Structure 1
Amino acid sequence: MSSIVEVAQNFFKACDTGKGWEVCSAYCTPAATFTAQAEPLANLRTLQEYTNWMNWLMKVLPDGHYVVKSFAVDEGRQNVSVFGVFSGTHTGKDEPCPPTGKTTHTDYVYVIEFAGDKIRHMTKIWNAGWAMKELGWG
C-alpha cells in the first residue's frame, strides 16, 4: 500500500468523524489549503478551517456518518479522490437554526493532493444547496 493511500484513508476518517485540526494536522503540511464551490464553505481557505468546520458540523448533526463509495489513487499526479455519502440529522446545536429533526444524505467528493507523504491541498466537490434544503436550512 502506498503511503499516500494510508495517509488519505487516515485523514479522511479523522476529518469526516469530526476530529478537527488537532488530529488531522498530522497528515497535512502546515499550510495545507482548501477550496470548494459550495456556499457554506466558500470562505474557507485552509484545511485547518475545513477540518474544524467538520468538527462543528458533527455537533450539529451528532449522528453524522459517511459511507465511502469509491476510493481512487492517481500515483502519477500524487492525488487521491474519495467519493462518499454523508448522512446526518439536525438534532444537535442550535446552529445555524434551532434543530429541525431533518436528515440529509448528501454526495461529495474530495480530491486530495500530496507533497511527498503529506496533504498539501484538498478540493471538496459538493452540492451544498441540496443538503441545506434537506436539513431545512435553505
Structure 2
Amino acid sequence: MTSIRVTAERFFDSCDTGKGWQACEQYCHPGATFSAQADSLDGMKTLEAYVEFMKGMFSVLPDGIAEVRSFAVDEARKNVAAFGVFRGTHTGEGGPVPPTGKATKAEYVYVMEFDGDKIRHVTKIWNDRITMRQLGWAY
C-alpha cells in the first residue's frame, strides 16, 4: 500500500504540471470532489474538472511551473496539505483576453482528503483576484 504522502506528491506533480485527468485519476476515488472559494473556479465541483482546468492553463501560461514550498501530512485526519507557488506568463492563446505578456506568482494550498490510500476530495485555498490582476485580466 502506498502512503498518502507519496500519493499526494504524485497527484500534485501530475496536476500542477498540466498532465490532465488521465495522469491523475489513478490517485483518486471515482467521483472525487473539489471545492474552492475563488470566483474563477466557481461551480467547479469535481476533481476531474479542476485537473482538466489546470491542464488548459498550460495553453495560456505555457511556461508555467509549480514549486512545492511545504508538504504536511496529518495521518490522524487522513489529509495532506501542500503549499505551492505557481509561476507563469500569459503568452499563449486563451484566457479572458488576448496574451498580455504579464506574469503571475500565485501562492496556494491544496488540502487533499483521503479515503484509504486515494484522494476523495481536494480543497484549493487561493486568492484568484491577485492572480487575475497580475496577469492583466482584472483590476
1:17 match:
17
User: 1 CA distance for matches of 2:78 and 2:10?
Assistant: 16
User: 2 CA distance for matches of 1:87 and 1:23?
Assistant: 21
1:39 match:
39
User: 2 CA distance for matches of 1:93 and 1:76?
Assistant: 44
User: 2 CA distance for matches of 1:33 and 1:108?
Assistant: 18
1:77 match:
77
User: 2 CA distance for matches of 1:15 and 1:89?
Assistant: 18
1:124 CA displacement: 0.1
User: Secondary structure in 1 aligned to 2:30?
Assistant: strand
1:57 match:
57
1:88 CA displacement: 0.3
2:105 match:
105
Aligned length: 138
Deviating runs (4+, > 2 A) in structure 1? none
Q: How does 1:117-136 map to 2 (within 5 A)?
A: 117-136=117-136
1:95 CA displacement: 2.4
Deviations 1:61-89 (A, max 9, x none): 00000111110000000000000111000
Gaps of 5+ in 1: none
1:93 CA displacement: 1.4
Question: TM-score if structure 2 supplies the norm length?
Answer: 0.97
RMSD of equivalent CA atoms: 1.2
User: Secondary structure in 1 aligned to 2:83?
Assistant: strand
User: 2 CA distance for matches of 1:3 and 1:99?
Assistant: 41
**Paired amino acid for 1:125:** I
Question: TM-score if structure 1 supplies the norm length?
Answer: 0.97
